[in-house]
Structure 1
Amino acid sequence: MKHIVFFFLLFTIIRFGAHAQIDTQRHGNRFEQLGTTLRSPNVYRTASGAPGHEYWQQRADYEIVVELNDDNQSISGKEKVTYYNESPDPLDYLWLQLDQNQRDKDSETPKIASSKIHPKMNLGELEDIIWHDMDLGLKIYSVTDANGVAIPATVNLTMMRLDLASPLLPGEKFEFNIDWSFNSHDRTSFLATRPGYEYFEEDGNYIYTISEWFPRMAVYSDFEGWQNKQFVGRGEFALVFGDYKVSITVPADHMVGSTGVLQNPGEVFSQKEMSRWDEAKTSFDEPVVIRTQSEAEKLEKHRSSEKKTWVFHAENVRDFAWTSSRKFIWDAMAVRLENGKEVMAMSYYAKEANPLWGQYSTKVVAHTLKSYSSRTFDYPYPKAISVEASNGMEYPMICFNYGRPDKDGTYTEAIKYGMISVIIHEVGHNFFPMIVNSDERQWTWMDEGLNTFLQFLAEQEWQRDYPSRRGPAHKIAPYMKGEKSLLEPIMTNSENIIQFGPNAYAKPATALNILRETVMGRELFDFAFKKYAERWMFKHPTPDDFFRTMEDASAVDLDWYWRGWFFGTEPVDISIRDVRWYKIDSRKPNEVKADAKKAYDHEETYVSRTRNKEDIAQTVLERDPDVGDFYNSFERFKVWPEEEKEYKAFVSQLRKEEREMLESGLNFYEISFENLGGLVMPIIIEFQYADGTSEVETIPAQIWRHDEYEVSKVFAKQKEVVQIVVDPYRETADIDESNNYWPRQFMPSKFELFKQNAPSRGTSSGPSPMKRERK
C-alpha cells in the first residue's frame, strides 16, 4: 500500500514540479483587468454598462422642403431645425455636418489620399487626381434664426459652426433655418460614393439615391463633447435623434421611397397603386407588386413635365434618406414580428434588376427584420426598404443595395448570394447604428462589426450551409497572420485602418461569433447581447458600454478577450509541442514480467545481432551444449508462486478506491501546448481512439494565466488515443493548423499558376451555370 501511494505522489511531483518555478517573464498582462483602459463610470454611464440615472442626449427636429431637378440633376432645399439642449452645459455655438462637402473641389479626401502614375492609367484614376475640378459641394445661401435674423456661420470643410447671440442653456431649444442646394453626381463614376444618381443611357432616365444631403446636427455627448471630426469618406456618421417632416417635389411620374411614413398617398398614387398598396398590407407570404415592370417601362418612354410633392413624416430617427425614379418597380409585403407588431417590407428596383430582385429582395428584407428582432428588440419602425442602386449603404428605414443580373436575366451564384448578403447587411443596419446609435466616425466596428455578426446568423437562417464570407473563425485567419505592419487593433479610428473590411467588419464579427460559440456559449451570449441592444436602443453607446454589459449580464470575465481581440493584433496559433503517454503500474506479476520481456527484447535488438544470425553459421553453445548451464535454459520471465503470493498480500491491504484505480487500466496523456501566436484562447482538443470513437474537451483560456506561452495538461482516458487534434472544428481562428496534430500530419501547400483580377462589386464574374443551361 505504501508503495503505490508513493507512486502517485511521485507522479504528481513530476507533473506539477516544473510549474512551481514559473519564469515571471512569461507572465504578461493578457489576463489583467482593463481597468483604466476604459472610461471611469459616472452618473451618465454605469460600471455595469447601462445608461446612468442622469444619462442625457440631445435632440433635433427637422422640417425640410426639397426639390429634385431631373434636367440638371441638382437638389435645392430649405430646412427648419429645432435643437433641444438636454445636456447640463450651456452651449455658445452649434456644429452641423455638411457631408456633401466631402465631394467638393476643396475636399480633404483627395488631398490626403496617396497617388502614383503608372505606365497605364484609366480614366477613373486620372479623374481621381483632378477631383478639384468638381463642383459638388453644398451651397449655403442663408442661415437665420426664427425671426429671420442672420446667424454668423463658419464653414470648415464638412463642418459648419453657428455662433449664437446668447448661450443655449440646459433645457432650452433653438430654432434656425438654412437654405441650400448642391449638384448631384454620378455615383457609378470614379467617385463611387453612396449618394448620387445612376444614368441609364438606353432609356435616358436616372435613379436618384439621395443621402447625406442636408445640413445635419452633429452630436454633442457626455463622453466627447462635440463630435466634429471632418468627414473624408470612410468614417461615417454620429447623428442626433429627432422627428422629421420632409416634403419632396419630383417629376410627377417618379416613384419615391424614403425614411418615414407617406402622409399623402392619395395625391401621389394612382387608384391601382392605392388598391395594391392596401393589398400588400395584409400579404404576409408573398410580396404584392404595386407598380409593375410593364407600367415602369411605359413611364420610361414618356417623361412627365408636371411635378408632385410627396410628404413624409418620421419619428425618432437619426437621419433621413430617399430615392426617386420613373424606372422603379415597387413591391411590398407585411411582416409580423414576435410581439405581434406588423411592419412593411418593400423594394424599389428597375427592370435591369429583374428577375433577381423581384424574386428575393423583399423576402430578404422580411427575413432580416425577423432575425435581427429575435436577437435584439422588435423592430420599432413602420417599414424597411431595399433599393437596387449598384452600391451598399444604410439609412433609417431605407437602404441602397447592389446585385444586378446580366442583360439576358441570368446571374451567377456570386451575384445571388452577394445581393442577399448585402440586403441583410444594409437592412440590419437599422438596428446598428440607426437605433443603437454608436459613433461610426470613431468606432466603425460598433456598427459594422456587430451588424456583420448578426448578418452571419441571418444568412445561416436563410439557407443551410449558406456561403457566408464573414463570421466563421477560420476565414479571418489569413488576415490575422498577415504582415504585422499592416495590422491595427479593432479599436482604431476608421480613417487610420489599412485593411478596412477585415478589420472593421470581419474581425469583430468573428470575435463575437467565437464568443458565442466557444467562450461564453450561445445561451449566455445571446442574453447579454440582447441586453446590450435593449439598454442602448435610441441612445449613444460607447465600446466601454458594450464590453461592460456583455460581462455584467453573463458573469463571464472577458477583459482578457477584449484586450486580445479588440485592443491587440496578435493572432491565434496554439501548437501541440509534446505528448507523453503514461499507464499505472498495476504490479500484477504477469504484467510486470510481460513488460520486462518487452523491454529486454527491445534492448537486445540491434544491428549486429540481426546480421549475426546470417553471418555466424554456428555458435560454440550450438556446437557444444555442454558449455551451457542453468542460465542458458531457464525461463527468464516466469511468474513464480512467491510473486503471486506477494501480489495478493499487497492487494488485500488496499482500500476499495485504490484497488479500483489500480485495476482501471487508465491511460494518462500529458500534453504540452505552446502559444506561438500570442493571443490566448481556449484549447479545444479532440481525442481520437483506437476503437474508432472520439470525444472533444475544452480547456478555458484561463489555463494560460500563469504562463502565457507554454502549458501542460494531463488527461486520463479509458481508451487508447491514436490521434490528438487541437481546434478540430476550426473555432478559434488558428492561423497554422499544421501544428494542431499529434502525431503530426503533413499537408501539402498548393500554388496557383496565375491569379485573375477581382471583379467589380455587384457584377457577374466566373462561370455562370444558369447562362450555360440556357444556351
Structure 2
Amino acid sequence: MKLYNLTLCILLCAITFKGYAQNTDQPGVKYDQHKVFNPNFYPEKGNAFRNAGGAPGSKYWQNRADYKLNVTLDTLKHRIDGTALITYTNNSPDALGFLWLQVEQNIYREDSRAEATSPITGGRFNNRTYTKGDEIKAIFVTKNGKTEKADYIVTDTRLQIKLKDSLRADGNKLQIRIEYGFDIPQYGTDRMGRLLTKNGWIYELAQWYPRMEVYDDVSGWNTLPYLGAGEFYLEYGNFDYSVTAPASLLLVGSGELLNPTEVYSPTILKRLAEARKSDKTVMIKDSADILRKDDYPKKPNITWHFLCKNARDVAWAASKAFIWDAARINLPGGKKALAQSVYPVESKGKQSWSRSTEYVKGAIELYSNQWFEYTYPVATNVAGTVGGMEYPGIVFCGSENKAGELWEVTNHEFGHNWFPMIVGSNERKYAWMDEGFNTFLNNVDTKVFNNGEFYVKPDQQKAALQLFSPEAEPIMTIPDVIQADYLGAAAYEKPALGLAILREQVLGEQRFDYAFKTYIKRWAFKHPTPWDFFHTMDNAAGEDLSWFWNEWFFTTWKLDQGIKDITYPDGDASKGALITLENLEEMALPVTILIKEENGKTATVKLPVEIWQRGGVWTFHYKSTSKIVSAVLDPDHLLPDINPENNSFSGLPVPAGATAASVLKTYIDAIGGAEKLKNIKDLQISSTGTVQGSEVQMVSRYRSPDMFFQQITVPSYNNLVVAHVLVNGERISVQQLSREIPLDDGGKKIIKAKSRPFPELDYEKGGYAMELDSTLKIVNGDLAYEVDINLAEGTQIRNFYSQKTGLKIKQVVEGSINSVTEFADYEGINGGIRIPFLIKTTLLGQAAEFKVKETAVNSGMTAGVFQ
C-alpha cells in the first residue's frame, strides 16, 4: 500500500509545527547503556514450532485454504454475485470447533466498526458512500461427505462458523460453500473501487470473496477487525476463479489466464505472443482498438478463467476503457514472466503510463536478482481510482500518476510481492514487516534502476525531525493504533531506515544481504513473527542485534551524537589528538567521523556501537601530525541525528573584529546591496520539487512593507493545497489541507521574520537580540559564521553565512515552529539582486530540493492577492 502522507506541514520550506525541542526537564544525562544493551531482550526460548535461530521448527505447521470462486460482474448495477467454495485443511495439532472468516466488504456498511471509529475530519480509510457490505445468501459445510447448512454469525468484518463436530487435526479437511453478493463501492477506502473514464468504468476488485482467517501457533485465530489501516493476514493455497462479465470488457487478474483463446481475438493473441518474447514494451491494445468490436467475442457475456497457485489472495480488474501493453520479464533461474499494464486513454503518454510496463519489468527483475525470484506468471499494473494497493501478481495504482511518482508507486506496490505475498507476515498487527521492509527494498532498487533516474540521495539528519517528532510512536504498534499523521513514519520510513543503517553502518552489505535473503528463503509462503525476523538476522549475520531491535522498534528514543572536545597531549598536535565524543540522547549507533588536519591530511574513522557500552562519553586517540581544523560526525548524513549542530568541530575562532552586524552587511552586499534590496516593492518566486515521486509546486509572493503569501500544491492530486500561509500586516494565517493551524506568539514572530525576502535588513532596527557565535561552524564542509537572532524567549533563528562568499547557506529555526533549510546556487534576477535558486529541506521525512523556475520583480502586484 502506498501511503499518501501529505499532511506534514510545509511552510516556508518545511517548517515543522510543534517540532522537536530537546527535553530539559529530565535532570542529568539521558543516555543509559544498561537500557540499550539489555541482556534480557528476547522474551522466550525457541520451541518445536519456531526455533531459537529464527527458522521454522521441526514441527512447524500452518493451515491451508484453497478456493474455487465463480462470480458475475453486473456493470449496470455495479455489482458482484456468485459463490465461493473453500477447501480448508487443518494442519494444526488442534481440533477446531469453529472457524473464522473475513467478510471485509462490510467495512463499507454505514454501521461498520470502521465507520464508527473514523475521524469526522475524513481520511484515506473513511467511507465516502455506503453499501450493504457482503450480502450472505447461504453457507453450507461439507465434511466427511455430508453437506449441511452452516450455523454462522457475522460480527462486523468477521464471520464465525460453528461446527457440529470439530474439524480434526493433522491434515483433516472440510469444504465451505458461500453464496454471496455485494455492491461495488465507487471509493473502496483506496483499496478497490471503480473509476469513470470517457470510454467507460474501470473496476478494481479486491477483498471480493469471503476469506479464511489465519489460525496459527502464536495466537490461535487471528480475528482483529478490519478498520482500514491494518491490512491483511491470510492463509496460502491455490485459487481457481472465474469471472463472467460483458464481452466488451478486458479483464486482468492474479495468476494465469486458462482460456485465452475463448476471450481474445487472433490479433490480440498474436500481439501477446510477440510481447512474451520482447524486452521492449509491445502494444497489445491501443486507443484505436478500444472501439473495435472484432477484438472480443460477439456475444453478450464471456467468462474469464484464472488459476493462481500458492498465493494468499487474488484480485482482478475489468474495463472496456483499457489500453494494454506488455513485455517479457527475465528471471534469474531462466524462467520468463509477463509484465503488463492496463490504463485508460487519459493516462497515456511517455511521461505517464506508457512507461508503466518498463517500470514493472525493471522492478521485478531487480528484486528477483537481488533477493528472491518472482513467483507468479504475470505482473499486472492497473491504472484506476486506487492510489496504490498490492495483491499477488497484480497492483492498483493511481491513473493520474506520472514520471517519478509512477515509478515510485509501481516499484512500491510490486515490492509487496515479496512482503507480504511471498513472506506472509501479519499485516493486521505488524505493518512494518511489509511496508517497512518493502520501502527498504524500494530504496535499494531505485538507486540502480535506469542508472538512478529517480534516485534522490537521502539526508537522514533532516528526516530526523519527522521520524522523532513529539508525536512519534514505537514501530511495534498496531497500525490502527498509530495516529494517521505518523503512520508513514512508523510503518514505512523508520523501519526502512533501520534496515539501511544495519546494512550500511552495522553489518555491511555482504553480511546484511545474506541474512536478509536467509529470512526470505526460510519464511517464503509461511507466517513469521517479528521475533523470527530478529533471531534470523542475529544468527545469519553473526551479530547480537538485540540492542538495535529494542531501541529502534520498541521505543521512541532519539539519536544525538556530538563532538565534545579535541585536545592534544602536552598541547602538541604532532603527538596526535584526543577526540571526545558524547551521546546525549537515549539511542546508541556506530560513529563515523571525517577529520581534516591543518597540513591537508584527511581521514575517516569508524567506531563500533560498543564504544557506548561504557557510558555516554568516549575519548579516542587519533594519530594526527598537525592541528585538526575540522571534524565532522556522520559527514554523509546517513543517521537521523536530531541535533546535527553539534556534529562538527572546527576549533577555529572567528577572525578578530568580526561582529554579527559585519557578517550581515557582508551578506547584504553579496546579494546586491542594501539600496537595491530596499527598491524591491514586490517579488514573486515559483519553485518546484519532488516528494515521494510526486511533483510539488511552491509559489511565494511578497509586497512591501508587510504582505506575504505562500502556497504549496501537489498537481497530481488535483492541485491539492497542502499548505497556505498568509501575512497581511498583523493578520497571520497558516493552513494545512484547509485546516487552520493555531500559532502562539513565538510562532507568529517566526513567520513574520521569515515572511520578508531579505529579513537581514530589519534585524537591527527590529529590536531583535543578535549574537555572533565565537567559533566558526562547518556547513557541508565549508566554514561559516553563525549569527543567532533571538526573537523571543525560547524562539530563535540561527543563520549560517559562508566565510568565503558571505552568502547565507543554512538556516535553523527553533521554537514552537522548527525548520532546517539550506540555500545554494545564488543567481541574479531583475533588479540586480541575487537569490538562492536551490533550496534544500525535508518534506514527508525525505530530502527535498526546490528549484526556482520563475521570478518576477516589481510587477505591480496588488494587495488583492493577499486576502
TM-score band w.r.t. shorter chain: 0.7 to 0.9
Alignment match, 2:746: none
- Asked if 1:193 is matched to 2:101, the reply is no
RMSD over aligned Cα atoms? 3.1
* Cα distance in 1 for residues equivalent to 2:505 and 2:368: 23
Query: CA 1:465–1:365 in 2, change beyond 3 Å: closer, same or farther?
Result: closer
Residues 409-461 of structure 1: per-residue CA shift (max 9 Å, x gap): xxxxxx31111010001011111100100000000000000000000111111
- Asked if 1:554 is matched to 2:550, the reply is no
Query: CA 1:447–1:300 in 2, change beyond 3 Å: closer, same or farther?
Result: farther
Specify the code of the residue in structure 1 equivalent to 2:579.
I
Alignment match, 2:37: 31
Q: Is the CA contact (8 Å cut-off) linking 1:83 and 1:173 kept in structure 2? A: yes
Residues 508-549 of structure 1: per-residue CA shift (max 9 Å, x gap): 011111111111111111111111111111110111111111
Shift of 1:328: 0.6
Query: CA 1:127–1:481 in 2, change beyond 3 Å: closer, same or farther?
Result: closer
- Asked if 1:396 is matched to 2:392, the reply is yes
Alignment match, 1:166: 165
* Cα distance in 2 for residues equivalent to 1:725 and 1:330: 53
- Asked if 1:517 is matched to 2:512, the reply is no
Q: Secondary structure at the match of 1:41?
A: coil
* Cα distance in 1 for residues equivalent to 2:31 and 2:328: 62
Alignment match, 1:240: 235
Specify the code of the residue in structure 2 equivalent to 1:198.
L
Q: Is the CA contact (8 Å cut-off) linking 2:135 and 2:181 kept in structure 1? A: yes
Shift of 1:764: 6.4
- Asked if 1:253 is matched to 2:248, the reply is yes
* Cα distance in 2 for residues equivalent to 1:675 and 1:733: 13
Alignment match, 2:63: 58
- Asked if 1:756 is matched to 2:688, the reply is no
Query: CA 1:303–1:112 in 2, change beyond 3 Å: closer, same or farther?
Result: farther
* Cα distance in 1 for residues equivalent to 2:395 and 2:651: 50
Alignment match, 1:218: 213
Within a 5 Å distance, the mapping from 1:319-334 to structure 2 comes to 319-334=313-328
Could you tell me which runs of 5 or more consecutive residues in structure 1 were left unpaired when the two chains were aligned: 1-21, 117-123, 406-414, 586-664
Query: CA 1:379–1:127 in 2, change beyond 3 Å: closer, same or farther?
Result: closer
* Cα distance in 2 for residues equivalent to 1:461 and 1:757: 30
Shift of 1:712: 2.1
Alignment match, 1:567: 554
* Cα distance in 1 for residues equivalent to 2:92 and 2:399: 44
Shift of 1:561: 0.9
Residues 694-749 of structure 1: per-residue CA shift (max 9 Å, x gap): 21111111101121x2222222223432101011011211122111111279999x
Query: CA 1:300–1:512 in 2, change beyond 3 Å: closer, same or farther?
Result: farther
Residues 202-230 of structure 1: per-residue CA shift (max 9 Å, x gap): 44x10000001110000001111111110
Alignment match, 1:296: 290
Q: Is the CA contact (8 Å cut-off) linking 2:126 and 2:189 kept in structure 1? A: no
Residues 42-81 of structure 1: per-residue CA shift (max 9 Å, x gap): 1011111111111100101111111111111011110111
* Cα distance in 1 for residues equivalent to 2:124 and 2:63: 43
* Cα distance in 1 for residues equivalent to 2:252 and 2:361: 17
Within a 5 Å distance, the mapping from 1:150-165 to structure 2 comes to 150-165=149-164
* Cα distance in 1 for residues equivalent to 2:210 and 2:651: 62
Percentage identity across paired residues of the two chains: 34
Query: CA 1:535–1:473 in 2, change beyond 3 Å: closer, same or farther?
Result: farther
Shift of 1:479: 1.5
Alignment match, 1:639: none
Query: CA 1:150–1:721 in 2, change beyond 3 Å: closer, same or farther?
Result: same
- Asked if 1:731 is matched to 2:638, the reply is yes
Alignment match, 1:182: 182
Deviation larger for 273-282 or 80-89 = 273-282
Shift of 1:192: 4.1
Specify the code of the residue in structure 2 equivalent to 1:325.
S
Specify the code of the residue in structure 1 equivalent to 2:151.
P
* TM, length-normalised to structure 2: 0.70
Alignment match, 2:409: 422
Q: Is the CA contact (8 Å cut-off) linking 1:668 and 1:716 kept in structure 2? A: yes
The structure with the greater share of residues assigned to strand is 2
Alignment match, 2:518: 531
* Cα distance in 2 for residues equivalent to 1:127 and 1:434: 22
Query: CA 1:354–1:732 in 2, change beyond 3 Å: closer, same or farther?
Result: same
Q: Is the CA contact (8 Å cut-off) linking 1:403 and 1:763 kept in structure 2? A: no
Q: Is the CA contact (8 Å cut-off) linking 1:100 and 1:138 kept in structure 2? A: yes
Shift of 1:145: 1.9
* Cα distance in 1 for residues equivalent to 2:293 and 2:606: 63
- Asked if 1:678 is matched to 2:586, the reply is yes
Query: CA 1:403–1:580 in 2, change beyond 3 Å: closer, same or farther?
Result: farther
Specify the code of the residue in structure 1 equivalent to 2:336.
E
Query: CA 1:273–1:736 in 2, change beyond 3 Å: closer, same or farther?
Result: same
* Cα distance in 2 for residues equivalent to 1:359 and 1:770: 27
* TM, length-normalised to structure 1: 0.78
Q: Secondary structure at the match of 1:425?
A: helix
- Asked if 1:699 is matched to 2:607, the reply is yes
Shift of 1:253: 0.9
- Asked if 1:453 is matched to 2:447, the reply is no
Q: Secondary structure at the match of 2:446?
A: helix
Q: Secondary structure at the match of 1:547?
A: helix
Shift of 1:471: 6.5
Within a 5 Å distance, the mapping from 1:93-132 to structure 2 comes to 93-115=98-120
Name the count of aligned residue pairs: 642
Shift of 1:23: 11
Deviation larger for 672-681 or 502-511 = 672-681
Q: Secondary structure at the match of 2:290?
A: helix
Alignment match, 1:361: 356
Specify the code of the residue in structure 1 equivalent to 2:149.
A
Shift of 1:311: 0.3
* Cα distance in 1 for residues equivalent to 2:651 and 2:301: 74
Q: Secondary structure at the match of 1:367?
A: helix
Q: Secondary structure at the match of 1:28?
A: helix
Deviation larger for 734-743 or 357-366 = 357-366
Q: Is the CA contact (8 Å cut-off) linking 1:403 and 1:416 kept in structure 2? A: no
Specify the code of the residue in structure 2 equivalent to 1:698.
K
Q: Is the CA contact (8 Å cut-off) linking 1:442 and 1:493 kept in structure 2? A: yes
* Cα distance in 1 for residues equivalent to 2:189 and 2:710: 25
Query: CA 1:41–1:417 in 2, change beyond 3 Å: closer, same or farther?
Result: same
Q: Is the CA contact (8 Å cut-off) linking 1:480 and 1:571 kept in structure 2? A: no
* Cα distance in 2 for residues equivalent to 1:128 and 1:389: 19
Query: CA 1:567–1:139 in 2, change beyond 3 Å: closer, same or farther?
Result: same
Shift of 1:386: 0.8
Q: Is the CA contact (8 Å cut-off) linking 2:267 and 2:295 kept in structure 1? A: no
Q: Secondary structure at the match of 1:196?
A: strand
Residues 231-273 of structure 1: per-residue CA shift (max 9 Å, x gap): 0011000000001111101110111110111111000001100
Q: Is the CA contact (8 Å cut-off) linking 1:404 and 1:763 kept in structure 2? A: no
Alignment match, 2:136: 140
* Cα distance in 1 for residues equivalent to 2:115 and 2:716: 22
* Cα distance in 1 for residues equivalent to 2:381 and 2:602: 47
Residues 146-194 of structure 1: per-residue CA shift (max 9 Å, x gap): 354210011000000001110101120011100000011112xxx6421
- Asked if 1:340 is matched to 2:334, the reply is yes
Residues 610-657 of structure 1: per-residue CA shift (max 9 Å, x gap): xxxxxxxxxxxxxxxxxxxxxxxxxxxxxxxxxxxxxxxxxxxxxxxx
* Cα distance in 2 for residues equivalent to 1:441 and 1:470: 32
Could you tell me which runs of 5 or more consecutive residues in structure 2 were left unpaired when the two chains were aligned: 1-27, 655-662, 665-697, 701-707, 722-849, 855-867
The structure with the greater share of residues assigned to helix is 1
Residues 15-54 of structure 1: per-residue CA shift (max 9 Å, x gap): xxxxxxx9999543201135344x4311011111111111
